[in-house]
Amino acid sequence: MAGTFGALVKDNKGVYILSNNHVLADENRLPVGAGIYQPGLLDGGSPETDQIAALSRFIELKATGNQVDCAIAKAANKNLVSADVLRIGEPAGTTQAAIDMSVHKFGRTTAYTVGRVTSIDTDVAVGYETGNFTFLEQIIIVGQNGIPFSGGGDSGSLILERQTNNAIGLLFGGSNTHTIANHIEDVLEALKVNLA
């Protein structure tokens, strides 16, 4: 699986990489403890030398009624990870998404992009390898100046408000015309973690 390491999160047991279930847990199919690699195996990573974390928790994807597509993996060594998002810096905190909010992200495939929130309450069906999953009350973002905000492999990217650098969402799907993200507070609450 190829995807993006979106943020560092923590609880009283350690520090974790935050991304999507479909990136870290392969759509519910990987067991807790499975190795997480950087670069990913699809990008030439080696199981012998590139493990940076182990799958710790994921919110199971169901056919309907999903709020989040998220998972965390415990960092093998704190020196291997950083809270900084490339070209953006460290998240200042979290805030709620709002219509017309200007946002940015850095992802594996499309790197740094800027966009605008067009919806904060959209129900959407997304096609995965293992089937279609329906998500409720999601954020929709469109790229600036006709440039797509995201592409395949950007899943897991943290989306932040440009003005404040507060995190608003976790990218998990989309197309050439729009990007879909979970509300970041729903993600953190479901996984029982905070931004590190």
Rounded percentage of the chain residues whose pLDDT exceeds 90: 95
Buried b / exposed e over 77-91, threshold 16 CB at 10 Å, is eeeebeeebeeeeeb
Residue 82 backbone phi and psi in degrees, to 5: -140, 150
Start-to-end Cα distance in the chain: 25
What average pLDDT does range 19-44 have in this prediction? 95
Q: Which helix (H) or strand (E) holds 55?
A: strand 51-58
Q: Are strands 7-11 and 14-19 parallel, antiparallel or unpaired?
A: antiparallel
Of 16, 10, 130, 112, which is closest to residue 63 (Cα–Cα)?
Answer: 130
71 and 28 share a domain? yes
pLDDT at 14 over 80: yes
Structural domain contains residue 127: yes
pLDDT at 1 over 90: no
Structural domain contains residue 1: no
Q: How many structural domains compose the chain?
A: 2
Which pLDDT tens digit goes with each residue over 39-86? 998 899 999 999 999 999 999 999 999 999 999 999 999 899 999 999
Query: DSSP per residue over 8-28, as a string?
Result: EEEETTEEEEEE-HHHHTTTT
- Out of 78-87, 115-124, 135-144, pick the least confident: 78-87
CA distance 11 to 125: 31
Q: Which of 31, 56, 83 is the last residue of a domain?
A: 83
Structural domain contains residue 88: no
pLDDT at 169 over 80: yes
Q: What is the pLDDT of residue 82?
A: 95
Would you say 138 and 124 are in contact if contact means Cβ atoms under 8 Å apart?
Answer: yes
Structural domain contains residue 185: yes
pLDDT at 146 over 80: yes
Confidence of residue 5 (pLDDT cuts 50, 70, 90): very high
Structural domain contains residue 130: yes
97 and 186 share a domain? yes
Q: Domain containing 178: what range?
A: 93-191
Structural domain contains residue 137: yes
106 and 41 share a domain? no
59 and 106 share a domain? no
The secondary structure of residue 129, as a DSSP letter, is: T
102 and 14 share a domain? no
Residue 33 backbone phi and psi in degrees, to 5: 100, -10
What average pLDDT does range 116-127 have in this prediction? 98
Amino acid at 88: I
Structural domain contains residue 75: yes
Q: Are strands 194-195 and 111-128 parallel, antiparallel or unpaired?
A: unpaired
Q: What is the mean pLDDT of the chain?
A: 96
Confidence of residue 156 (pLDDT cuts 50, 70, 90): very high
Q: What is the pLDDT of residue 2?
A: 84
CATH of the domain at 114: 2.40.10.10
18 and 51 share a domain? yes
